[in-house]
Amino acid sequence: MKKKNNEKYRKNLTPQQYHVLIEKGTEKPFTGKLLYNKKSGIYVCAACGNNLFSSDKKFDSGTGWPSFWDAVNKDSVKKRIDTSLGMKRIEVTCRRCEGHLGHVFNDGPLPTKQRYCINSASLNFKEKRKKR
């Protein structure tokens, strides 16, 4: 992460969030708090609050992690090649703090055909306020 201060992150993140965002871990499938979230709003980085994904781009991929067909905008996330498990994948990180979010695959729905497979632990959710 950019200029990471591990003590700051250890203090402000849960152990699971720290493991995912800082140590590039992953949560077990079908255990994430946001997997079944159907509310309207924005998914933000749990480490820095950067807007990452919108509920209108979320879909049920059946993989066990929240999935999105695109980021909220082109400047919200960063992609880089990840060969850590002996295979080539594309890692997705927060553009602002470089916290690990998950990976993106080319097996998603139209219009992008992308599946951003994202750990719930790396996200917080800001529900859209209902108009009165």
Q: Which CATH number fits domain 6-126: 3.40.50.2300, 2.40.37.10, 2.170.150.20, 3.40.50.720?
A: 2.170.150.20
The pTM of the full predicted model, rounded to 2 decimals, is 0.92
Token couple for 10: 């250890």
Round to whole Å and give the CA distance between 51 and 72: 7
Catalytic site includes residue 97: no
Query: For 10-46, what is each residue's pLDDT tens digit?
Result: 899 999 999 999 999 999 999 999 999 999 999 999 9
* Side-chain-facing half-sphere of 41: CA atoms under 13 Å: 14
Q: What is the DSSP string of 12-33?
A: HS-HHHHHHHTT---PPTT--T
Query: For 56-101, what is each residue's pLDDT tens digit?
Result: 999 999 999 999 999 999 899 999 999 998 999 999 999 999 999 9
Query: What integer pLDDT is reported at residue 112 of this predicted model?
Result: 97
Catalytic residue among 45, 94, 97, 117: 117
Residue type, 107: D
